[in-house]
Amino acid sequence: MVHITSPLKRPLLLSAFLGLAGCATTVDGPAQAIPGPPALNDSNVFCEASRTELVIPVGGAFAEGSLVKDFYTGNTARVRDGQVRMTPDDNAEGLLLLEPVDETVHAFTWAGATVYFAVTDRFANGRTDNDINYGRQKDGKDEIGTFHGGDFAGLTQKLDYLADLGVNALWITPPFEQMHGWVGGGDRGDFRHYGYHGYYALDFTVPDANFGTREEFRTLVQQAHQRGIRVVMDVVMNHPGYSSLQDMQTFNFGALHSGFEKHLPEHWGDWRPESWENHHAYHALIDYDHADWRNWWGKDWVRAGIADYDTPPSASVDPVRGSLAFLPDFKTESTNPVELPVFLRNKESSRAEHLDNATVREYLITWLTDWVREFGVDGFRVDTAKHVEPDAWRELKARAQEALDDYRERHPDTALPSEEFWMVAEVFPHSVRKTGYFDAGFDAVINFDLQAEAKAGARCLQAMEPVYREYADKLHGDDPFNVLSYISSHDTKLFAQIAGDDNTLKKRAAAALLFTPGAVQLFYGDESGRAFGPTGSDPHQGTRSAMNWQAIEAGEVSDILNHWRTLGQFRQRHPAIGAGEHKLISQQPYVFSRQHGDDTVVIAFGSGN
């Protein structure tokens, strides 16, 4: 979720293991007998990467006499006495990535997916002629909350880059048309905040012109599918976007206090605060009790605490019917039929149509699944899942599967990697555990724990052993499930912030993340050390800085990027890394195996001189 905060009174429309030293130590006993590593939060433990020959026990993962290959170097060795002898590549940070010498192609499974999360506006600008729309403007300063120009065309142009990373799913931020104007950003209202991130929807039925056209979105999905990359679309059913001065003027809803129009320029979105004011100050111009707020979403659609709309409780009091970050709260639990909101009825560009006897939930589900039915979207990442009733998610999943089945039937000759629609839930601060969300239509839940665990793992991969063991044991227990783990996100922090100026940590973080059991998520620029950007009074804005293409093209981050590519391709070749059972083979060197069906790999990390 992306939000802003404000102290104002009318908030709902506001701006919103380190192993033993010495000889190889092979583990023969059960997992619980393994000596423990240093504490995971001990970030001072650093293992030097070995560049000398290692004796690697393979623990029966590979048959005696069989030939195995190190994916990093391409070198091969034969298993003798249950071991192989190999030397890590100088750039491999002590890693050996062992696989059978064959060309077996292993089937994709969401349980071992590598998902790349790109904030569309901040990733790649494929067309500069669509950078300014709806009267939006740059701020001429740090551009914290403005549109930067990233679009569907840019994403499409970078699909080969993603394929080279071993990515098999692309998660994009919501593509819907956003509120046109801006709201005050951060607690201090110190920047103009547009809906560049996609979470401030105005019209769920059409793409935002800054992101591109319907045909460009279709091309993105089709081109991704041709490369075996699934497209996961971020969706929101908890809330629409805030109101803004510009939208009030454009769509004729709400009202100003009498006589206050003289305080506004001809184009209301051009209003700027005085030197003693901040960007929240425009609320003083607005009459939030005026009857013309009925021309916005309307009281039957949302709780907003204005005019005759219901006032929602805090989300901490009522997670389902409460307001998040002062956003208008959709009445998805209501069983009452509703009419199309007035502003959508009058909006010529909207594809929203009247649905007979439809509830708010039915409208929203129809709008969201239409993207699947028309474009063949493979999955949804669901924003703020705990703030909508579970029945709504079950219905969304069922309708989305129907829509995907329909698309597949109508496109029998098109590259279509997915048969089963996939849904992953954002439930802050969910960890690796089986909860009721898996009974509400979700195939996975985002795991918020790994980010805090990954720094120690980047410094010394052995520190990940208890994490890997715990995750694998839980995910493959009596009641299997899946999670999506990350080391950077738009709502927490970047791993680059954690690593600081240490490029070795940014490089080694690839192993900590990509060897994690379950599905994993790269946040755009994890693989290239993208830096934290301007953030104002909102600590999360800087996590959405522009993708560092210039540094990539200049070769400044090649050492980091090439390492991520090699590990990502290895993970893509072997679903067992994410979906397989984990077995610790040796403590020093640190060696473990993953096995899923007929797919087996052995991963070794040698530390020392």
Per-residue three-class SS string for 120-173:
HHHHCCCCHHHCCCCCCCCCCCCCCCCCCCCCHHHHHHCHHHHHHCCCCEEEEC
pLDDT digits (tens, 9 = 90+) for 204-221: 999 999 999 999 999 999
pLDDT for residue 28 is more than 90: no
Distance CA 432, CA 484 (A): 9
Residue with tokens 């473990």: 592
Known active-site residue 353: no
Known active-site residue 426: yes
**Percent of the chain surpassing pLDDT 70:** 93
The pLDDT value recorded for residue 45 is: 84
Per annotation, catalytic residue among 99, 177, 208, 383: 383
pLDDT for residue 453 is more than 70: yes
Confidence band of 428 (pLDDT split at 50, 70, 90): very high
Mean pLDDT rounded to a whole number for the chain: 92
For the chain, the structural domain boundaries read 11-16+109-241+278-573, 25-106+582-605
The pLDDT value recorded for residue 417 is: 79
The pLDDT value recorded for residue 154 is: 98
The pLDDT value recorded for residue 20 is: 27
The pLDDT value recorded for residue 553 is: 98
CATH number of 11-16+109-241+278-573: 3.20.20.80
On the question of a cis peptide bond just before residue 589, with omega within 30 degrees of 0, the verdict is yes
Confidence band of 33 (pLDDT split at 50, 70, 90): very low
List the single range of 85-99, 224-238, 309-323, 457-471 with lowest mean pLDDT: 309-323
| Alpha-carbon torsion (118, 124, 130, 133), positive or negative | positive
Between the two ends of the chain, the Cα-to-Cα distance in Å is: 45
The pLDDT value recorded for residue 42 is: 53
pLDDT for residue 19 is more than 50: no
Confidence band of 460 (pLDDT split at 50, 70, 90): very high
pLDDT for residue 37 is more than 50: no
* Segment (H or E) for 201: strand 201-207
Per annotation, catalytic residue among 93, 426, 465, 527: 426
pLDDT digits (tens, 9 = 90+) for 176-207: 999 999 999 999 999 999 999 999 999 999 99
Under the phi-then-psi rule, with left for phi > 0, alpha for psi from -120 to 50, and beta for the rest, what region is 124? beta
Whether 173 contacts 197, CB under 8 Å? yes
The pLDDT value recorded for residue 43 is: 54
CB-based burial label for 566 (10 Å; 0-12, 13-18, 19+): buried
Mean pLDDT of 420-432: 96
Paired residues of 594 in beta bridges: 582, 601
Please provide the size of the chain in residues: 609
Mean pLDDT of 110-115: 97
More confident residue, 372 or 26: 372
